[in-house]
Amino acid sequence: SFLVSWTKGFKSSGVEGRDVVALIRKAIQRRGDFDIDIVAVVNDTVGTMMTCGYDDHNCEIGLIVGTGSNACYMEEMRHIDMVEGDEGRMCINMEWGAFGDDGSLNDIRTEFDQEIDMGSLNPGKQL
């Protein structure tokens, strides 16, 4: 899992473009006072659904509405053409946080949208 870029005001030098799992493993080794390993890296949306699904096995959606928004949902494998196999279910992360970063929303953005964007921590991102 490589960090492409920091968002939402987070900054730490020497991390962008690097494998965050390897960095965390090295930090754990340096501490030397506990023995754990990283088996998965998930975003807030998937983590939210997994946490709720632990108690409620009927949980179907993870939704984040905060400084940004995103969603994930459970889908039947038979409806997913990109992977082999029809058995079981898979979490689909919508990852719409960067929707519009490519300019696809420029035609409908108002002057107010542009003003807010220019005052944000990451202008042109997370529209």
Tens digits of residue pLDDT in 32-83: 998 899 999 998 999 999 999 999 999 999 999 987 789 999 999 999 999 9
Contact 76, 83 (CB under 8 A): no
Q: What is the CA radius of gyration of the chain?
A: 18
Beta bridge partners of residue 63, listed in sequence order: 71
Give residue 38's pLDDT. Answer: 92
Asked if 107 is an active-site residue, the reply is no
Of 8, 19, 86, 101, which one is the catalytic site residue? 8
State yes or no: is 102 an active-site residue: no
At 90-103, the pLDDT tens digits run 999 998 877 788 88
Of the residues 19, 44, 56, 81, only one is catalytic, namely: 44
pTM above 0.75, yes or no: no
d(CA 78, CA 22): 34
